[in-house]
């Protein structure tokens, strides 16, 4: 999962998906948070669809900078930043390895994508296409 999360080295997220992190979490770089607040005001409904890059360092390159961002508390999404606590958390060593070793990240990412691609999705009456990914229809 840590390797697959590296896909967040490219792409963007809407303010409504990271607002709570900006204003309520303490494990975020203060300068990073300040730079995002101008485009993502605190009141809910204000700027909800405004976008921010998932990778502040190299937003248009598929690389391992995402992991260095996590080490600097610059993960945009809560689900990203929890991968690195800096206190020896369960995935800290993996993040450290990927941040310092681009080849290790690339290899692990490729393997994880192949494994995920080999999953057989539920079809017909056994599964459903969700209208909203976060909840059952």
For the annotated binding site, the residues are: 8-9, 55, 58, 63
Q: Are 13 and 54 in contact (CB under 8 A)?
A: yes
Q: What is the H or E stretch that residue 52 is in?
A: strand 51-53
DSSP state of 126: G
Closest CA to 57 of 68, 47, 73: 68
- Residue ranges for the known binding site for heme b are 8
φ, ψ for residue 53, nearest 5 deg:
-70, 140
Token representation of residue 33? 């948070």
Q: Are 98 and 54 in contact (CB under 8 A)?
A: no
- Residue ranges for the known binding site for Ca(2+) are 9, 55, 58, 63
Q: Alpha helices, DSSP H only, in the chain?
A: 2-5, 19-24, 30-37, 65-71, 78-81, 92-100, 102-117
């Amino acid at each position: 999962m840590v390797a697959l999360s590296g896909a967040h080295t490219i792409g963007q997220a809407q303010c409504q998906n990271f607002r709570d992190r900006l204003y309520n979490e303490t494990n975020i770089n203060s300068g990073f948070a300040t730079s995002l607040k101008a485009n993502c005001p605190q009141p809910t409904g204000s700027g909800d669809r405004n976008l921010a890059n998932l990778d502040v360092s190299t937003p248009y390159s598929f690389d391992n900078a995402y992991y260095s961002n996590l080490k600097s508390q610059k993960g945009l999404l809560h689900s990203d930043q929890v991968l690195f606590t800096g206190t020896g958390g369960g995935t800290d060593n993996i993040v450290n390895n990927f941040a310092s070793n681009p080849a290790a990240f690339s290899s692990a990412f490729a393997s994880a994508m192949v494994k995920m691609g080999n999953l057989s999705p539920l079809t017909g009456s056994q599964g459903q296409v969700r209208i909203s990914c976060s909840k059952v229809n």
